[in-house]
Structure 1
Amino acid sequence: MLNGFLPSSGPTRNQIFAGSVQREGDAFVVEVNSRVTAVTSAVPALGFPSSLLNAASANTDIIRPGDTLTLTIYENVNDGLLSGENANASAISSIQVDGAGFIFIPYAGRIRAAGNTPEQLREIITRNLDEQTPDPQVIVIREVGDGATVTVSGDIGGEGIYPIERPTRRLSGILAAAGGVTPDPEITQVTVIRGGQSGTVWYEDIFLEPQVDIAMRDGDRILVEEDSRSFTALGATAAQTLVPFESRTISALEAIASVGGLNPNLADPTGVFVLRNEPEEMANAVLGRSDLIGTQRFVYVLDLTAPTGMFEARDFAIRDEDTVYVTSAPITQWNNAISALTGTLTNAAGTANTLSSLGQ
């Protein structure tokens, strides 16, 4: 009877069970066991689509529009076309390949550079100059340019646009060139966007799983972010707060520990609840049904005093936006009732004494 008018930090264990679908409520109340733990742990993993995983390494030797070239031309005469009097070599630096892919070389004319390797371009220039000067020798160097580049942003040492070169052909090389990630590597996610395709992986997997260290392509965009998942802890715990994930996975037992554990003076260890909205497929799998449609409300029940209760709490995975709620023990409810009642009587007695003294 006292529970009807006493203030409470949240619903009691019995009140939560009373709100179940089985009792005409709006949430499925499910006691956690090994089967439920196994089913609910099957969540989609992060990863790249096959179009990104199967892309071959880019040929960084191919010249592209926007690249910068340096040419050195040796002529077999002392007074050459390009070298001038008393010299047999000339250097032409910072030649940028135009948007159409061409460069202009005196006496060789307008030459298409894009699509060729430096060696192929060297042969083209040599042939064009061969008619103008005897036995020309050409050296072509492709410098850093803005032809094939990747954009990196987010929680990274240096945001910016980075060229794809031999050391940066793959994702790990680009991230290293950008100064590495700034959050804890364990909870850092890396998203690669390529055209209409995108995928997200854990940063550490790029180095642990070779296939995840994908080849870079011109125009790729890379976003580095700290894991944004969190859960809410409420009720008879040492702290009631929003808790960010500090590792890839976190169990119910770790979730309780992360907020200081159960409040020894208040908590009911038989009443640890995890509130969650389950998607249709997962809801049907947990209940062994196939008729549920749409997202369903679930309340998972953990009894830490049961023979396997601690093991179930250790194995049950917490997900993003979960609410972990610990009810107060029945004795706490009784003590609160007695305290409220005796406090009311004490206040009433004090008021009576005050009125009596005023009447004197």
Structure 2
Amino acid sequence: MLRSMAALAFVALLLALAGCTGMYLGVQGERPTSSGSLGDDVTARVDIHTITPETVYQQRQELEAAAQLDQARRNAAVPNSNGSYQYLVAPGDILNVIVWNHPELNNPAGQITSEIAGRVVADDGYFFYPYAGRVKAAGRRTTDIRNELTQKLTQYLTEPQVDVSVVQYRGRKVFAVGQFNKPGPVALTDVPLRVTDVVTRAEGLNENADEREAVLTRNGVRYAINLYALYQKGDMSQNLVLQDGDILNVAEKRYNKVFVLGEVVKPQSVLLPYGAYTLAEALGDAGGLNPTTSNGSQVYVLRAVPGAKPQVWHLNANSPDALVLADGFRLQARDVVFVDAAAVTRWSRVINQLLPSVGGLTNLDNLAR
């Protein structure tokens, strides 16, 4: 008998603790204040807000202002692509030098292989040419090299006609990295190379690419490039002329996700689409609130804020205007949507967890008898 009473006392104690199991923020009422009715221990760690018509309107105003400021900052930060483009020869390039009516200079010893006949610019930026000796090439235009060769050859030839061109561009490159179908270096030539050219040379973006999150790194400075605006909206300010050493990096879109957890029909992570994505859409994509286990008055959006306390946004989905509010509340990347369980659901789960323990205590009591 004493064992039975002990077992009943044990069960009663655990039932009393049932309300403490699981995640429960405990916001009460339809529209609590900013801090809700939580204890000081929770409000000290997070900022609690309620989704109301006022907060939805304020959020929309803040997002529009932030978008305008971000666009102005982008426009100010983007490197200037205006002006004429000129390719400067670099070490590693192969030059083709032709002196008309002088085949002994153009094709010495009868060599016909283009790379041997061409003049490779050495690491020090020079190449050798008969009668002219060492000629500076790196950092110069082909017209400058031609003028110097003409001047030097005039000492040995009568009015030499010299032509200089680049046979192979190997010295100057930009780099396509990240979510391209064929990432790698892309050679710069005498034709200006733009962002769209790099995407084409890299055979386009793969299915994991996030067109909104491309970064151009130049001389250690990072510039945001919005490929979605470039390709879908025709924003040609994003189509920059690239320079030697530029790195174009396209990030994975998996970093732009929101997570819908708790008492919904289908908990899942959702990739943010291009454009606004609201709380109502996230709940709808997850199949809505579970009609048998969810507590509609306890719907939360948890958001990390760099350098500040996390934010928790509360929605009472039982209120008449809940769907309108949810459709006006925009989610951000890495937001977590959480739907709490109903009180009876939490109590039922605790009971189910306790039943094996109660059964074991009953067996012990029977053995003691």
By the TM > 0.5 criterion, same fold? yes
Distance between the aligned counterparts of 1:184 and 1:221, measured in 2? 19
Supply the AA of the counterpart residue of 2:188.
I
Alignment of 1:143-222 (within 5 A): 143-166=167-190, 169-183=193-207, 187=211, 189-207=213-231, 208-222=234-248
- In 2, are the aligned partners of 1:75 and 1:134 still within 8 Å (CA)? no
Q: Summarize deviations over 1:302-349 as a string: whole Å, max 9, x none.
A: 233434322221221222332211123456567x39x949x97xx98x
Counterpart position of 1:316: 329
Q: Summarize deviations over 1:229-272 as a string: whole Å, max 9, x none.
A: 33332221123344443545422122222323221222233321
- In 1, are the aligned partners of 2:106 and 2:117 still within 8 Å (CA)? no
- In 2, are the aligned partners of 1:231 and 1:242 still within 8 Å (CA)? yes
- In 2, are the aligned partners of 1:234 and 1:323 still within 8 Å (CA)? yes
Distance between the aligned counterparts of 1:183 and 1:321, measured in 2? 20
Identical pairs, percent: 21
Alignment of 1:116-127 (within 5 A): 116-127=140-151
Distance between the aligned counterparts of 1:169 and 1:188, measured in 2? 21
Q: CA deviation at 1:197?
A: 0.8
Q: CA deviation at 1:32?
A: 1.2
List runs of 5+ in structure 2 lacking aligned partners: 1-11, 29-34
Distance between the aligned counterparts of 1:14 and 1:129, measured in 2? 89
Counterpart position of 2:91: 65
Q: Note if 1:296 corresponds to 2:319.
A: no
Q: 2:136 aligns with which of 107, 112, 119?
A: 112
Supply the AA of the counterpart residue of 2:95.
L
User: What RMSD, in angstroms, separates the aligned Cα atoms of the two structures?
Assistant: 4.0
Counterpart position of 1:82: 105
Q: Note if 1:28 corresponds to 2:18.
A: no
Alignment of 1:263-342 (within 5 A): 263-278=290-305, 295-329=308-342, 332=345, 336=348, 340=351
- In 1, are the aligned partners of 2:169 and 2:188 still within 8 Å (CA)? no
Change in Cα spacing, 1:51 to 1:96, as seen in structure 2 (3 Å) is farther
Alignment of 1:195-274 (within 5 A): 195-207=219-231, 208-227=234-253, 228-247=255-274, 249-274=276-301
Distance between the aligned counterparts of 2:298 and 2:210, measured in 1? 32
Distance between the aligned counterparts of 1:48 and 1:94, measured in 2? 44
Change in Cα spacing, 1:266 to 1:168, as seen in structure 2 (3 Å) is farther
Where 1:53 maps in the other structure, the secondary structure is coil
Change in Cα spacing, 1:187 to 1:311, as seen in structure 2 (3 Å) is farther
Where 1:82 maps in the other structure, the secondary structure is helix
Q: Summarize deviations over 1:106-134 as a string: whole Å, max 9, x none.
A: 12222222343223322332232233223
Where 1:313 maps in the other structure, the secondary structure is helix
TM-score between the two structures when normalised by the length of structure 2:
0.73
Distance between the aligned counterparts of 1:299 and 1:84, measured in 2? 76
Deviates more, 1:241-250 or 1:185-194: 241-250
List runs of 5+ in structure 1 lacking aligned partners: 280-293
Distance between the aligned counterparts of 1:23 and 1:58, measured in 2? 60
Distance between the aligned counterparts of 1:187 and 1:123, measured in 2? 46
The structure with more helix, counted as a fraction of residues? 2
- In 1, are the aligned partners of 2:98 and 2:106 still within 8 Å (CA)? no
Q: Summarize deviations over 1:190-230 as a string: whole Å, max 9, x none.
A: 11111131023332123331111122111112222212133
Q: CA deviation at 1:18?
A: 3.7
Where 2:151 maps in the other structure, the secondary structure is helix
Distance between the aligned counterparts of 2:216 and 2:332, measured in 1? 24
Counterpart position of 2:24: 11
Change in Cα spacing, 1:126 to 1:24, as seen in structure 2 (3 Å) is closer
Q: CA deviation at 1:150?
A: 0.8
Q: CA deviation at 1:103?
A: 1.9
Q: 2:117 aligns with which of 64, 79, 93?
A: 93
- In 2, are the aligned partners of 1:169 and 1:216 still within 8 Å (CA)? yes
Change in Cα spacing, 1:121 to 1:319, as seen in structure 2 (3 Å) is same
Distance between the aligned counterparts of 1:151 and 1:192, measured in 2? 10
- In 1, are the aligned partners of 2:125 and 2:138 still within 8 Å (CA)? yes
Supply the AA of the counterpart residue of 1:216.
L
TM-score between the two structures when normalised by the length of structure 1:
0.75
Where 2:215 maps in the other structure, the secondary structure is strand
Change in Cα spacing, 1:6 to 1:84, as seen in structure 2 (3 Å) is closer
Distance between the aligned counterparts of 1:124 and 1:244, measured in 2? 59
Where 1:127 maps in the other structure, the secondary structure is helix
How many residues are paired up? 332
Deviates more, 1:19-28 or 1:189-198: 19-28
Change in Cα spacing, 1:199 to 1:39, as seen in structure 2 (3 Å) is farther
- In 2, are the aligned partners of 1:81 and 1:133 still within 8 Å (CA)? no
